Structure 1
Amino acid sequence: MSSGFSGSSDKNVSRAFWITGPGEGHVREAPVVSGLPDSNESRVVVQTLWSGVSRGTESLVFNGRVPESEFERMQAPFQEGRFPWPVKYGYASVGRVLEGPDELIDKTVFCLFPHQECYSVPASAVTPVPAGVPPERAILAANMETAINGLWDAMPAVGDRIAVVGLGVVGLLVSWLASRIPGTRVTAIDTNPARASVAEALGLTFAAGSSADDHDLVIHASGHESGLKTALTLAGQEGRVLEMSWYGDKPVSIPLGGAFHARRLTLRSSQVGQIPPARLPRWTYRKRLALALELLQYDVLDHLITGETAFHQMPETMSRILAIGNDTLCHRIKY
C-alpha cells in the first residue's frame, strides 16, 4: 500500500466549503489530513469526483436552524467546526482513492464526508461503489440509507395500502421502494405539482392530496407541519403513521383530537442515526450503506438529481438551491 503524505505542501492542502453565517458560505483552504490520525490505522486519500446536496438537513444547517439541544447529535461524521457556524458540513461524497491499501487504490468509493476536493479518512470510513452504479448517481447513497431505515421502522407488508406525504428525495425513494413490495397500493402525495413528473417517471401514482382514510401505513417526509396533519387524516383504523421529517428548531402543532384516539392510530418517529433495535443483531451501519449503494443500480433514479454545478460555485449555489420554495431535489456538485 501507499502510506504517508509526503511531498509538496500543495499535496497536503485542499479546498472545502464552509458555512460561515446565516445563509452564507465560502470556499476555504483545508488540510487533506485533519487532526492527528493514528499512525497505526490504515487510511486512504480520496480525490472527490462528486458530492450531493440534500435540501432537507443541509438547509437547516445552512440557515442556522439546528437547535442547541441537538448540536452534538446533529454532527456529521467528519464535520469540522461547531453549530451554528462556522462549520464544514455534508455527508454525500463520491471519489477515487489515490492512496491507501492496495485493494482500494483507484476504486470509486462513497464517504460521509463534507464538500471538499481531497481528503484523508480511515479506510473503514469508505465504501466501494458497486460496478453497476455510476459515481454521479452514488451521491444518493445517504438518502437511500434514510429511506431504507424508514421502511425498516415502518415495517410495510405485502398488500399494504400506503401513502407517502412529501416528495423530496427521501419521500420519493421511500415511495419507490414500497411500491416494489408485491400487492402494495402506494400513493405519492405532494402539494407541489412539479413533483408529479418525477413520481410518474419512478412508476408511482401521484396525487396532490387524498381523502381516502383507509391506509394501513402513512409515511410523512415533507418537513412541514401541514403535511403531518394530512398524514394523520389518511390513516385508517389502527393505522400507523411514521414521521421521517425533522423540523430543527421549529415548533410543530398537530391535531391529536378528532379521530386520532377513536381510530387508535400509532405515531412514531424514524431517524437514520439509529438502526431499528430488531435489526441490530444482524445489521451494521456499513452493511446498511452497502445495501443503499447496491439499490442505486437503477437508471430511473437519475430523475432525483435535478441540477449540477461546479465546486467553486458552491457559495452561490447553496444560497439558491436552499432557498424556501426551491424545486430542487438532489443537487450534484462536480469537482
Structure 2
Amino acid sequence: MPPAVTDCLARALWLKPPYDCELREQHLPERAPGQVTIRSLYSAVSRGTETLVFAGAVPESEYERMRAPFQAGQLPGPVKHGYANVGVVEAGPDGWLGRHVFCLYPHQTRYVVDTDAVIALPADVPAARAVLAANMETAVNALWDAGIGVGDRVTVVGAGVIGGLIAGLASALPGTDIELVDIDTGKAALANALGVAFRTPDNATGNRDVVVHASASAAGLNTAIGLAGFEATVLEMSWYGSAPVSVALGGAFHSQRLTLRSSQVGAVSPTRRARRDHRSRLALAVSLLADPRFDALFETEDAAFDDLPAVMHRLTRDEDKSLCQRIRYD
C-alpha cells in the first residue's frame, strides 16, 4: 500500500460574499485506511448555485440546505463551495491508484476523501466531460420527477447546462418530440448538437405534455406555463435565491388544470427513492456522460485554476454567455 500523505499542501477557492474570493493554501490531512488522495484534473463552476453563493444571494433559511457535500466554512461565508471535481487517485487502497474519479468536491488542487465518496469513471467517459456529472445527476432527477415517457411532446425552456442535459436525455426516449427554447438565438447551435429542435419563445409549439423550465427568470417560467397543454406538468428547475419571482397564475392556468412542481437534486425523486440512493443515482449520471453530444456544453475555453477568482467575477456578468465553465489544473 502506498504511504499515507502527510503535510501535503493544497490550494482551494474560497468565496467571500458578496463578490469577493481568493485562493487559499491548506495542508491535507493524513490519509486513513479506506481513503484516497486525489489530484484534481478538472472542476466546473455551477453558474446557478455557485454564483448565487458568490453574490451573497442565498436566503438565511437555506444556509444549511444549500451546504455542498464537502463544503468548508458556513454560509453566508467565507465558504469553500462547489461540487464538480474530476481527478486521479495518487494514493489509496489496492485497485485505486491511477484511477480517474468524480467527486462532489469544491475547487481544490488535491484532497483526501473516503472511497465511497468517489465514482470511478467508466472507460468510455473522458475525464474532461465527467465534470458534468453533478449537473447530469440533476437532469436525471428531473426526468424522474417529470415522468417523461415514450412519445411525449416535451419543451425545455432555458438552453443552459441543465436545460441542455435534460433535452439531450429526453431526446433518447423513443418517439419523443423535444424543443429547446431560449431567447438567445445563438443557442440554436447547442440544440443542433444535441439533436433537438430549437425555438424562440415566440415560435415555440404549444399544447405540450411536459414543459421543463430552467432559465432562472420569471419571463421564462411564464413562457413555460403558456406552452403547457391541458392537465400537463410544468417542472421548475430554476433556483432564484432571495430574488422574488412574479408568476402568471391567472389566465388559463386553472382552466388548463396545470401542475406546477419543483425538482431539486438534494433528494432522490420519490418515483425512485425506494430503489435508488444518492450514490447509485450519481453513478448513473456519470455513465450517461459517455455520450459525446454533451461536449457541446463546453463552448467556452477552459480556464486555469489560478484564474478562478477572475472567472467567478466574469460569470456574474449578464453579458457573459458561458455554459459550463471548466477549470483545468495544470
| TM-score where L is the length of structure 2 | 0.96
SS at match of 2:50: helix
The worse-fitting range, judged by mean Cα deviation, of 306-315 and 226-235 is 306-315
String of CA shifts for 1:188-217, please: whole Å, max 9, x gaps.
000011211111111110011145331011
Relative to structure 1, the CA distance from residue 211 to residue 113 in structure 2 (aligned partners, 3 Å threshold; closer, same or farther) is: closer
String of CA shifts for 1:28-54, please: whole Å, max 9, x gaps.
1022239xx8x5x61111000110112
Q: Structure 1: which 4+ aligned runs deviate by more than 6 Å?
A: none
List alignment gaps of at least 5 residues for structure 2: none
Report how far residue 56 of structure 1 moved.
1.0
Equivalent residue number for residue 76 of structure 1: 68
Residue 247 (str. 1) matches residue 240 (str. 2): yes
Equivalent residue number for residue 219 of structure 1: 212
Report how far residue 304 of structure 1 moved.
0.4
| 1: CA distance, partners of 2:114 / 2:105 | 12
Equivalent residue number for residue 142 of structure 1: 134
List alignment gaps of at least 5 residues for structure 1: none
SS at match of 1:21: coil
Structure 1 counterpart of 2:5, one-letter code = F
Once the two structures are superposed, the pairs formed by residues 172-321 of structure 1 within 5 Å of their partners are 172-209=164-201, 210=203, 212-305=205-298, 306-321=300-315
Report how far residue 138 of structure 1 moved.
0.5
Equivalent residue number for residue 14 of structure 1: 10
Q: Do the aligned partners of 1:44 and 1:100 also contact (CA within 8 Å) in 2?
A: yes
Q: Do the aligned partners of 1:138 and 1:293 also contact (CA within 8 Å) in 2?
A: yes
| 2: CA distance, partners of 1:77 / 1:66 | 17
Which of 306, 311, 322 is the equivalent residue of 2:316? 322
Q: Do the aligned partners of 1:31 and 1:119 also contact (CA within 8 Å) in 2?
A: no
| 2: CA distance, partners of 1:168 / 1:85 | 27
CA-atom RMSD in angstroms: 1.4
SS at match of 1:278: coil
SS at match of 1:109: strand
Report how far residue 166 of structure 1 moved.
0.5
SS at match of 2:42: strand
| 1: CA distance, partners of 2:188 / 2:286 | 25
Equivalenced residues, count: 327
Q: Do the aligned partners of 2:10 and 2:26 also contact (CA within 8 Å) in 1?
A: yes
| 2: CA distance, partners of 1:180 / 1:206 | 16
Structure 2 counterpart of 1:5, one-letter code = V
Relative to structure 1, the CA distance from residue 93 to residue 211 in structure 2 (aligned partners, 3 Å threshold; closer, same or farther) is: closer
Q: Do the aligned partners of 1:215 and 1:235 also contact (CA within 8 Å) in 2?
A: yes
Residue 109 (str. 1) matches residue 101 (str. 2): yes
Report how far residue 3 of structure 1 moved.
5.2
Report how far residue 21 of structure 1 moved.
3.0
Q: Do the aligned partners of 1:95 and 1:109 also contact (CA within 8 Å) in 2?
A: yes
Structure 2 counterpart of 1:308, one-letter code = D
| TM-score where L is the length of structure 1 | 0.94
Equivalent residue number for residue 25 of structure 2: 29
SS at match of 1:77: coil
Q: Do the aligned partners of 1:194 and 1:327 also contact (CA within 8 Å) in 2?
A: no
| 1: CA distance, partners of 2:292 / 2:258 | 37
SS at match of 1:297: coil
Identity within the alignment, %: 50
Report how far residue 129 of structure 1 moved.
0.8
